[in-house]
Chains A and B, each alone.
Chain A
Amino acid sequence: MDTVVVKNLKKTFPGVTAVNNISFSVKKGEIFGLLGVNGAGKSTTINILTGLLRPDSGKITIFGKDFFKNEEEIKNRFNVATAYYSLSTNLTVRQNLEVYARIYNIKNRKKKIEELSERFMISHRFKTKVHSLSSGERTRVVLVKALLNDPELLFLDECTVGLDPDVAEIVRDYLRRYNKETGCTIIFTSHYMQEVEEMCDRIAFMYDGKISNPGKAEELLKELETQTVRLHFSRQINKAQQILRENNISFEKKKNILEFTIQNREKIIYPLLEQFVKKGVAFDDMHLSKPTLEDYFIQRSKKDQNLNSTKETGIEKR
């Protein structure tokens, strides 16, 4: 069963369509990534799903129930962590966690708060007011709050922003383990592509309020049209340049390295290598860069921008 089903969700603000008729679903126990540039509509979507914002139209089903008709019951079963909003800044860490533990009616509140705080290395700051914490510490307190009610669905909006790399890794480890052990569904947004690639079972790309078909990271990467090839030569570099010119491949020469971008690896690189062998051109090393999610993100953004300006001007950018 799907934990979250979003159908034809639309949200407009004066002059802006923040979320434009999007539909997607998130399976139970899945870690689902929402990727996109700033203003793509990720946070608006999360805010609607967490009940802070009302959509213009569309339907949201969470745990098989209509979200807007069962908001109180559903909110008891999910939680949210974001790096953008801290808990009450005038309260201490412990006071904040005590209040939220009571809101979620947690049994054994003290033990639960202490266990999670130890886990996220924040227990030494129990008596400190939130406004005196560093941004990384604030994020950790919010993460503890988000796990207090053993949520079946967790919204993590840029939840590792401001964390030191080692702490971020501990947080990711814990979340992965929590997801595996409890079957909790996680909706995850992040600017760190590597993190999204590492954490998420499926990823959807948002741009200009629209959403792409979700897919696994490797499936998305297959969509990439270009790859960078670097050939290292100790001799015969001129012959190699000649072959590339004959094949209409534009390249860049950096000392004894030829670097060029190709589309469709299978169709281009193998015939090219055959020509090198036939003409007796030997290279010392070849480096074919593996596309990352970051490459996908950049290409996808460019493509969507291009599509947008084409729509506006009727001229296709090249």
Chain B
Amino acid sequence: MKLHRIKALILNYYYFSIDSLDRLFDVFYWPIMDLFIWGFMTFYIQGLSEYNVLNTILGGIVLWIFIWRSSQDMVVYILESFWSRSVYHLFSSPVQFSEIVASLFFLGIIRSLAAFLTMAVVSFLLYQFNVFAFNLLHFIMFVSILFLFAWAVGLLVSSFIFRYGTRLQVLAWSTIWIIQPFSCVFYPLSSLPSWAAKIAILLPTTHVFEQLRASIAGQPIDYYSLLYSLIVSIVFLIVAAFIAARALEKAKVSGSLAKAE
């Protein structure tokens, strides 16, 4: 891996972002819309309940952005190279797959933080919800695990794009939403039916959002649960990176990369 190439790729993706209304909407428009819809609904439910529903749901929305942006961005920026048919020049250059992944990790962090800060400001202005009131250590732990998991999902979806081309591009936007209902972002694990709970408990994201609710409620954090999430996310990331690298190699064998399909 060469730092100058990673920087070049970050610049490439930055140029993609600044002039693209789609990519700007990803960071600002959709997260704010989420806050409006969910926030106002929760504001209403809050009036019917003694439980701190507002903080729980807003905390979920604000943390979910890290998964959403990081996983989707990874695939969408790979797709951008296919759409603009620049894959040919990119892969005939000395750029390594690991450098593309590293630059997309970095980009995911920056764009997620931009979306997070926007949501933090909007949620404070609309609902007086202060995300910075979280325990900073807890917050860093939650976000780190979510990043690892999101990158793993992004790599796995990218491997389908490499292998089968842009005809599977719908996965870029849809995959993460299959995971959300089982991640218990807005409700506790105990509220799920038993078949769904069996799936949910395996996901690292479920444990993060469970601990987020505990943290908001002022209850002690289960560090073993977070450790499990961290290990699973790392293993998942390594496996996903291996699968994506294999898929890229297969694309070179099948010719789909040369055709930039």
Contacts and interface: CB of A to CB of B under 8 A. Distances in A.
Interface residues of B, number: 33
A298 interface: no
B240 interface: no
Contacts, number: 97
A72 B91 contact: no
Contact of B88 (A52, A73, A95, A104): A52
Interface in A117-151: 129-130, 142, 145
Nearest to B85: A85
B11 interface: yes
Contacts of A103: 4-5, 8-9, 93-95
A109 B24 CA distance: 29
Nearest to A73: B94
B135 interface: no
A268 B121 CA distance: 93
With a 10 A CB-CB cut-off, give which of A84, A85, A86, A100 has the most chain B CB atoms: A85
Interface string A62-80: 0000000001110110001
Interface stretch (B15-23, B30-38, B64-72): B15-23
A89 B84 contact: yes
B122 interface: no
B96 interface: yes
A72 to B, nearest CB: 5
A53 B251 CA distance: 8
A76 B92 CA distance: 10
Interface in B241-261: 249, 252-253, 255, 257-258, 260
Nearest to A49: B92
Contacts of B4: 102-103, 105
Contact of A86 (B85, B92, B258): B85
Interface of A is mostly: mixed
B1 to A, nearest CB: 10
A270 interface: no
Interface string A157-173: 00000000000000000
With a 10 A CB-CB cut-off, give which of B88, B257, B260 has the most chain A CB atoms: B88
A90 B94 contact: no
A50 B255 contact: no
What's the interface size class on A, roughly? 35 or more
B86 interface: yes
B89 interface: yes
A76 B4 CA distance: 13
Contact of A80 (B86, B92, B260): B92
A145 B93 CA distance: 11
Interface in A196-213: none
Contacts of B92: 50-52, 75, 80
B215 interface: no
Contacts of B166: none
B12 interface: yes
B134 to A, nearest CB: 37
A130 B86 CA distance: 11
B221 to A, nearest CB: 43
A98 interface: yes
B12 A99 contact: yes
A153 to B, nearest CB: 12
Interface in A216-263: none
With a 10 A CB-CB cut-off, give which of A87, A129, A145 has the most chain B CB atoms: A87
A102 B8 contact: yes
A299 interface: no
A37 to B, nearest CB: 19
Nearest to A89: B84
B7 interface: yes
Contacts of B8: 99-100, 102-103
Nearest to A56: B253
5 contacts: A51-B91, A75-B93, A90-B16, A91-B12, A91-B16
Interface of B: 2, 4-5, 7-9, 11-12, 15-16, 19-20, 80-81, 83-86, 88-89, 91-96, 249, 252-253, 255, 257-258, 260
